[in-house]
Structure 1
Amino acid sequence: MYKKTLALAVVLAVAPASALADTVFGVYAGGQFWDADSEGEYAFASNVIEPNFENESQSSYYIALEHPVPFIPNIKVRENSLEVTSDYGKNDFSHRDYIFYYEIFDNDLVSFDVGVNAMDFDGSLWVLGSDTIGRQDFSVVVPTAYVAARVGIPATDWTFFADASALSAKDSKVQDAQIGIEYRLVDNLAVDVSLNAGYRHSVIELDDVDDIYSDVTFKGPFVGVEVHF
């Protein structure tokens, strides 16, 4: 995967500037409420824990900057709150995404972005060790490939969209994908406002990160809003 990511970077570096740059500066900000079902297990040292996760609503919000400067990637920063209560206490798989991407294709109906996403985990788990229950913190940055696509329905205010970040290396796998539909509620020269809904699926399999091993999944429907200045 790391070789594939490097190859992608080389391709982007030699791609035509007109294909990589946005035509105007744009700031996007949005948020999402996610009715996520949680399942899986995790381990600390030699103790495998299969907690009874409680399904809870999660949240995500982001800000993105797109610009016309050639070869410089657009950037999106997204906060993902993934806190879930188990038999032992509150477990935290929250992370921040640093997404650097290029617009390979972009018009009024179809757009396609590619790039990389540095998923910065800074979480904690309630674990069982030596017959005692305690909290174990973990921190890791996972680099992933990133793709996103949008397809508008002609002569309407509706757009289908999807994006995904994924990495599989050795015994670790991290992926976060969503698909949905968007409705442009406000569309003028000053500001655009869109409502969206869809389905999101996230898998976090970490192998020996600060003595933590995890295999957890979050999945379910979401609703959100986006503002474009």
Structure 2
Amino acid sequence: MKKINLSIVVLAAAGAFAIPAQSAVLLGAKIGTDAWYAGAKTNDIHVDDASIQSSYYIAFEHFIPLIPNAKVRYTGVASEKSKTDFTQYDFITYYEILDNNLISFDIGLNLQKFTGRFNNLNFDEWQPNIYSDVRLGIPTTLVSLFGSCSVGSYNETNTVDGEAGILFTLGLVAADLNFRVGYRIQNYKFNYFGTNNGKFQNNGFFSGIAFAF
């Protein structure tokens, strides 16, 4: 029988108890894109030199208790030599535990959708994850440190997708303009292909731009 890692349920409950700390913002949105210079390993074999891959995301935040905020992210993954080419969609719901100029912390659930090819085998699967995001502001500067991670274990498929880096925020009239640089790693063990080994790692530096309204 398929079983979801119990830790997902526990952290989801913890997020529910933290609802009163939801941000005081009435309505907000974030939209951004990253260019990711990443190289891939398939089944522990280095198969591709680094190449530019893309990621896009949009998030909505509100003041309504009990209802989580939402974020959707698209990532395109390609490894030509191993005939691996798939898209990853992250459907994230989260609560803001802390949100001020010095620290912000979000926690929630991420339902990942994978569709495409792995080692020339087609797959179309969903994966539940725990999601967390943290930002630490550096006082008297426009710079902050950030990190986010999605971790899941379901039906012998294990996924880790994490990133960390530096964020520079420039305040505009109607929005904040954010520039960011960092490092991202995907470390996956897919159990979708029977006896075939489904290990995949994709990692490298990225840079991006985002608007926060």
Instruction: Note whether the superposition's TM-score is higher than 0.5.
Output: yes
Q: Distance in 1 between matches of 2:195 and 2:58?
A: 33
Q: Is residue 166 of structure 2 the alignment partner of residue 181 of structure 1? A: yes
Distance in 1 between residues matched to 2:165 and 2:179, nearest whole Å: 11
Q: Is the 8 A contact 2:47 2:79 kept in 1?
A: no
Residue number among 16, 38, 41 corresponding to 1:39 in the alignment: 41
In structure 1, what is the equivalent of residue 176 of structure 2? 192
User: Identity of aligned pairs, percent?
Assistant: 32
Where do 1:17-166 residues align within 5 Å?
17-41=19-43, 52-86=47-81, 90-127=83-120, 136-166=121-151
**How far 1:228 sits from its partner (Å)?**
1.0
Q: Say whether the 8 Å CA contact 1:206–1:212 is kept in structure 2.
A: no
Report the RMSD for the aligned CA atoms in angstroms: 2.1
* Alpha-carbon distance between aligned partners in 2 of 1:66 and 1:38, rounded to the nearest angstrom: 34
More displaced 10-residue stretch of structure 1: 159-168 or 169-178: 169-178
Task: Structure 1: state its 5+ residue gaps.
Answer: 43-49, 128-135
Question: Is contact 2:22-2:96 (8 Å) kept?
Answer: yes
| Shift in Å, 1:55 | 2.9
Q: Which runs of 5+ in 2 are unaligned?
A: none
Could you report, residue by residue, the CA deviation over 1:18-77 in whole angstroms, capped at 9, with x for unpaired residues?
A: 3134422111000000110111229xxxxxxx6833432111010000111111110000
Q: Which has the larger radius of gyration?
A: 1
Q: 1:7: which partner in 2?
A: 10
| CA displacement, residues 142-185 of structure 1 (integer Å, 9 cap, x when unaligned) | 00001110001111100100000011346421110000001113
Count of aligned pairs between the two proteins: 210
Tell me, in whole angstroms, the C-alpha distance in 1 between the residues paired with 2:198 and 2:175.
42
Q: 1:164 to 1:51 in 2, by over 3 A?
A: closer
Aligned pair in 2 of structure 1 residues 212, 81: CA closer, same or farther (>3 Å)? farther
| 2:186 pairs with one of 193, 198, 202 | 202
Runs of 4+ more than 6 Å apart: none
**TM score, norm. by length of structure 2:** 0.90
> Counterpart of 1:77 in structure 2: which amino acid?
V
- Residue matched to 2:203: 219
Q: Aligned residue for 1:45?
A: none
- Match of 1:19, as an amino acid? A
